[in-house]
């Protein structure tokens, strides 16, 4: 299938979507002076998306995050998955949804509907799953991402969007200068390898308390063990409080992004492992801390723990999830 770019437009948003991986390549939105600039990390050369080791802008599935040892038990049967992150399964496997071509079911300037059929046993997951993802612009300044799926067998399914945001515009500054609010009273610890554990910690009094708006860079405590385990910043699941918005700000540009989701958690990841050898849109070189992900999803590896809701899609049931990214001026 030919790699194609599809453009969505409104008076306040200009978005580029690829049929490969359902990837968001660009989101251009105005700053406080009305200047449109790109606020997500993307490659200058679209051929680089065939590799895309950092999952820039990608749709993620069948599951999001790591599954420990690449295995799980469902309905008393053990399943072994593709291992593409050491001994673990990461973001669905070696050929996750970020690596496949999606069929375009419909397309206008205000939205695009993508479809993909994931076969029984693909990357080790049970069941043939029919997936649909819609990107659409609403109210001129909102990007709605809506997921829908059915499977002919019980399976694990947990989809997310892996865009790296940088509201400074065209990568002028890192996310360390951004401000953030995450309505969450608890987060889940990771071990020294970066694998999520089943240890839930209260955020109060820690670098993980973003219940009020805080500068991200100033909130990092390099002596905190969890910060160290995430290579000097964040790569953690925050359990979201009900009916509240995640908010990201860049004071200099005046841009604000509000994230509303029906997902139970968000992974806040900070491109801590990103190298400097990638050429991004506008001819800018990639570097550490250049983008921040807000991946709305379930707790990764929940199937191997007790106490977390496991994202099981039952046979012939319908999976639905929705996240809205609203771009505005402070």
Output the pLDDT for position 276: 84
How many residues does this entry show for the chain?
A: 330
Cα–Cα distance between 304 and 72 in angstroms, integer? Answer: 6
Alpha-carbon distance 191 to 69, whole Å? Answer: 14
Tokens of 274: 């990103």
User: Which residues pair with residue 255 across a beta bridge?
Assistant: 250, 329
Q: Give the burial class of 128: count Cβ atoms within 10 A of its Cβ; 0-12 exposed, 13-18 middle, 19 or more buried.
A: middle
pLDDT in tens, 212-266: 999 999 999 999 999 999 999 999 999 999 878 999 999 999 999 999 999 999 9
Distance CA 281, CA 9 (A): 19
Q: How far apart are CA 117 and CA 108, in angstroms?
A: 22
Task: Write out the catalytic residue numbers.
Answer: 162, 295
Q: Range of 265's domain?
A: 5-329
DSSP lists the bridge partners of residue 202 as 186
Q: What is the pTM of this model?
A: 0.97
**C-alpha to C-alpha distance for 156 and 311, rounded to whole angstroms:** 6
Cα–Cα distance measured from residue 108 to residue 106, given in angstroms and rounded to the nearest whole number: 7
Across the beta sheet with 13-18, what order do the strands follow? 5-10, 13-18, 24-30, 36-38
β-pair type (292-297, 284-285): unpaired
Average pLDDT, the chain: 96
From 154, 138, 208, select the one nearest 180 (Cα to Cα): 208
Question: What is the largest distance, in Å, between two alpha-carbon atoms of the chain?
Answer: 59
Spatial contact of 85 and 66, defined as CB atoms under 8 Å apart: yes
Q: What is the pLDDT of residue 327?
A: 98
CATH number at residue 75: 2.70.98.10
**pLDDT per position as a tens digit, 116-127:** 999 999 999 999
3-state secondary structure of 303: helix
Kindly tell me the burial class for residue 194, based on how many C-beta atoms sit within 10 Å of its own C-beta (0-12, 13-18, 19 or more).
middle
- Domains held by the chain: number: 1
Across the chain, which has 330 residues, the per-10-residue mean pLDDT values are: 96 98 98 98 96 96 97 97 96 97 98 98 98 98 98 98 98 95 97 95 97 96 96 96 91 98 96 87 93 97 94 98 97
Spatial contact of 215 and 187, defined as CB atoms under 8 Å apart: no
Residue 141: per-residue pLDDT:
98
């Amino acid at each position: 299938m030919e790699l194609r770019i599809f453009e969505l437009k409104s008076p306040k948003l200009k978005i580029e979507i690829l049929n490969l991986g359902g990837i968001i390549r660009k989101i251009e939105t105005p700053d406080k002076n009305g200047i449109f600039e790109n606020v997500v990390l993307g490659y200058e050369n679209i051929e680089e998306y065939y590799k895309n080791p950092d999952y820039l802008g990608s749709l993620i599935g069948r599951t999001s995050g790591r599954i420990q040892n690449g295995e799980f038990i469902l309905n008393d049967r053990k399943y072994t998955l593709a291992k593409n992150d050491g001994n673990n399964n990461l973001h669905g496997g070696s050929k996750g949804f970020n690596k496949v071509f999606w069929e375009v079911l419909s397309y206008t300037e205000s939205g695009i509907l993508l479809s993909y059929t994931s076969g029984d046993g693909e990357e080790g997951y049970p069941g043939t799953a029919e997936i649909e993802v819609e990107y659409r612009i609403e109210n001129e300044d909102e990007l709605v991402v809506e997921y829908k799926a059915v499977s002919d067998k019980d399976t694990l399914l947990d989809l997310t969007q892996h865009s790296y945001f940088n509201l400074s515009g065209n990568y002028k500054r890192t996310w360390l200068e951004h401000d953030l609010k995450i309505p969450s009273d608890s987060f889940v610890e990771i071990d020294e390898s970066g694998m999520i554990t089943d240890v839930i910690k209260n955020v109060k009094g820690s670098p993980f308390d973003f219940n009020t708006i805080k500068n991200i860079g100033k909130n990092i405590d390099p002596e905190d063990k969890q910060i160290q385990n995430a290579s000097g910043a964040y790569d953690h699941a925050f359990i979201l409080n009900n009916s509240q918005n995640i908010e990201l700000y860049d004071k200099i540009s005046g841009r604000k992004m509000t994230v509303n989701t029906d997902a139970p958690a968000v992974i806040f990841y900070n491109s801590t492992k990103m190298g400097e050898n990638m050429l991004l849109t506008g001819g800018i070189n990639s570097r550490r801390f250049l983008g921040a992900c807000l991946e709305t999803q379930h707790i990764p590896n929940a199937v191997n723990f007790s106490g977390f809701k496991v994202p099981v899609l039952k046979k012939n049931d319908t999976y639905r999830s929705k996240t809205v990214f609203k771009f505005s001026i402070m």
